[in-house]
Amino acid sequence: MKRIVPLLLCAIMIFTMLPVQAKADDVTINVYNWGQYISDGTDGYIDVNKAFTEKTGIKVNYMTFDSNETMYTKLKTGGSTYDVIIPSDYMIARLIAEDMLEELDYSNIPNYALVDEAYKNTSYDPENKYSVPYTWGTVGVIYNKKYVSESDIGSWDLLWNEKYSGKILMFDNPRDAFAIAEFLLGIDINSEDQDELRSATYKLIEQKPLVQGYVMDQIFSKMEREEAWIAPYYAGDYLLMQQENPDLGFYFPKEGFNLFIDAACIPKGCQNKAAAEAYINFLCDPEISGENLDYLGYSTPISEAKQYMDPETAASEIAYPTEETLSNGRAFINLSEDTSRFTDSLWLQVKTQGGVDTYAIVCMCAVVVLLAAYFIIHGVRRKKRIANRCKRWKQ
């Protein structure tokens, strides 16, 4: 008996360590996409994942991330696999360079033929081997017309305007945040020059006291509820926010802005490639793409999809800016690994800069000194007392 119990426990321990095997008969794919980036049945719009399951019988386990960097970290850390991911252009290039993507079998994705030529042979995937465009869009400034005067808008410097201190939000990812500072300083947003990056860092640190917070999808509730008045964000999301709060306005800053394409890819380690390709194909179906992006407000790379949209959305100057506006847009290019690392460390510097008052440091030092004094005095007194007692005891 004495031996059995520990042995039993060891056995249970080993048993629990075995990975739980999923049932083989129902296929589930793990989809990893941006937050608020698919029509999920709200307000009577299509529920894309449900529609996919109904059509193919494949279940979708849908997970979200809030920036390209979060997604990259998750993939890199390991421990979990995804079947479909939807990163942005420069991140796709990075994933390709680090050999983290599977090549797609385009014969399983017939709808790819419908994608406009403008979104093929892109700089991030020049040979069209790894990605299928999901949406494209722009970054601009969202502001609240009630509080922000029209004379201040037009440029990125609105985000540095002290009049609105504490009411300004900022991107919580290095690429988008640095791009804004770089536009303002007139530096190329794909610059790899360390001095230029440093000057962008100082620009961001200069802005920091005015910033209410570095956030991503929290922008939705903060802007809609007027907790914040000014935020740079993706144009498509502005269209969503504006439905909730009609006082919100949007403009393309004159210094230029980021133009991006988000595309579906299959990462290495994918468990079910055919199902993943079926999902990507489904997303490219003009009818699905049209209805999905009608809700999202982002722009579709499939012109044919526009006929399934609300004509008002399809004609929106914000979702589909004029050629003239678009000529001001710049795309991100993947930075070299060294520059990526350097940017990450600069970004951490921005995030951790300031906020430490000398007051706290002085107080901490005082506490340490007091503690030390306490122990020393106490130790001396105790020794004395013990010595006295010994003396008395000897007497």
Query: In the window 291-350, what residues touch other proteins (CB under 8 A)?
Result: 337, 341, 344, 347-349
CA 35/CA 19 separation, integer angstroms: 29
CA 308/CA 291 separation, integer angstroms: 6
Q: Contacts with other proteins in 181-200 (CB under 8 A)?
A: none
Are the C-beta atoms of 41 and 62 separated by less than 8 Å?
no
| Cβ nearer to other proteins, comparing 66 with 157 | 66
Q: Which helix (H) or strand (E) holds 336?
A: none
HEC profile for 109-127?
Answer: CHHHHHCCHHHCCCCCCCC
- Residue 321 CB partners (closer than 8 Å, separation 6+): 138, 252
Applying CB under 8 A, what is the total number of residues that bind other proteins?
80
| Cβ nearer to other proteins, comparing 215 with 259 | 215
Q: Give the shortest CB-48-to-other proteins separation in angstroms.
A: 15
Asked whether position 387 contacts other proteins by CB under 8 A, the answer is: no
CA 40/CA 50 separation, integer angstroms: 8
Q: Give the shortest CB-214-to-other proteins separation in angstroms.
A: 6
Q: Which of 174, 232, 290, 297 binds other proteins (CB under 8 A)?
A: 174
Q: Which of 32, 143, 234, 252 binds other proteins (CB under 8 A)?
A: 32
What is the dihedral sign for C-alpha 295, 253, 326, 66? negative
- 292's tokens: 């999905």
Applying CB under 8 A, the span of 185-193, 282-290, 309-317, 375-383 interacting with other proteins comes to 375-383
Asked whether position 376 contacts other proteins by CB under 8 A, the answer is: no
Asked whether position 166 contacts other proteins by CB under 8 A, the answer is: yes
CA 81/CA 87 separation, integer angstroms: 15
Are the C-beta atoms of 136 and 329 separated by less than 8 Å?
no
Q: Give the shortest CB-121-to-other proteins separation in angstroms.
A: 29
- 145's tokens: 């017309």
Are the C-beta atoms of 301 and 261 separated by less than 8 Å?
yes
Applying CB under 8 A, the span of 127-135, 297-305, 319-327, 364-372 interacting with other proteins comes to 364-372
Asked whether position 281 contacts other proteins by CB under 8 A, the answer is: no
Q: Give the shortest CB-349-to-other proteins separation in angstroms.
A: 8
Applying CB under 8 A, the span of 18-26, 102-110, 146-154, 247-255 interacting with other proteins comes to 18-26
Q: Contacts with other proteins in 79-118 (CB under 8 A)?
A: 79-82
Q: Which of 118, 315, 326, 364 binds other proteins (CB under 8 A)?
A: 364
CA 349/CA 203 separation, integer angstroms: 12
Q: Which of 354, 369, 376, 383 binds other proteins (CB under 8 A)?
A: 354
Q: Contacts with other proteins in 36-75 (CB under 8 A)?
A: 36, 61, 63-64, 66-67, 69-70, 72-74
| Cβ nearer to other proteins, comparing 168 with 305 | 168
CA 333/CA 322 separation, integer angstroms: 23
Q: Give the shortest CB-322-to-other proteins separation in angstroms.
A: 31
Q: Which of 216, 259, 261, 309 binds other proteins (CB under 8 A)?
A: 216
Q: Give the shortest CB-150-to-other proteins separation in angstroms.
A: 23
Strands 248-251 and 211-215: unpaired
Q: Give the shortest CB-70-to-other proteins separation in angstroms.
A: 5
Are the C-beta atoms of 258 and 330 separated by less than 8 Å?
yes
| Cβ nearer to other proteins, comparing 170 with 283 | 170
| Cβ nearer to other proteins, comparing 73 with 303 | 73
| Cβ nearer to other proteins, comparing 1 with 113 | 1
User: Alpha helix (H) ranges present in the chain?
Assistant: 4-17, 48-56, 68-77, 89-97, 174-185, 194-207, 218-224, 235-244, 273-284, 286-296, 311-314, 323-326, 337-352, 358-394
